């Protein structure tokens, strides 16, 4: 699999949103917050962008 880059661009979703609670290691959250601050994005925008990227680039391993 080639090295894919996460490019953060503005994107707005028209669909209704829903609240989701997720537990995350504190050090990971600090990294998320640092990137959010550096890019001028909210924590929520950044996390949604990362999830969207992962969904588009994931490879599901077949069980044998």
Spell out the SS3 assignment of the chain. Answer: CCCCCCCCCCCCCCCCCCCCCCCCCHHHHHHHHHHHHHHCCCHHHHHHHHHHHHHHHCCCCCCC
What pTM value is reported for the model? 0.71
The pLDDT tens digits for 4-53 are 888 877 666 667 889 999 999 999 999 999 999 999 999 999 999 999 89
């Amino acid at each position: 699999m080639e090295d894919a880059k996460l490019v953060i661009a503005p994107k707005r979703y028209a669909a209704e949103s829903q609240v989701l609670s997720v537990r995350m290691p504190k050090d990971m959250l600090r990294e998320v917050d640092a990137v959010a601050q550096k890019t001028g994005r909210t924590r929520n925008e950044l996390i949604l962008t990362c999830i969207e990227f992962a969904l588009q680039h994931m490879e599901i391993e077949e069980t044998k």
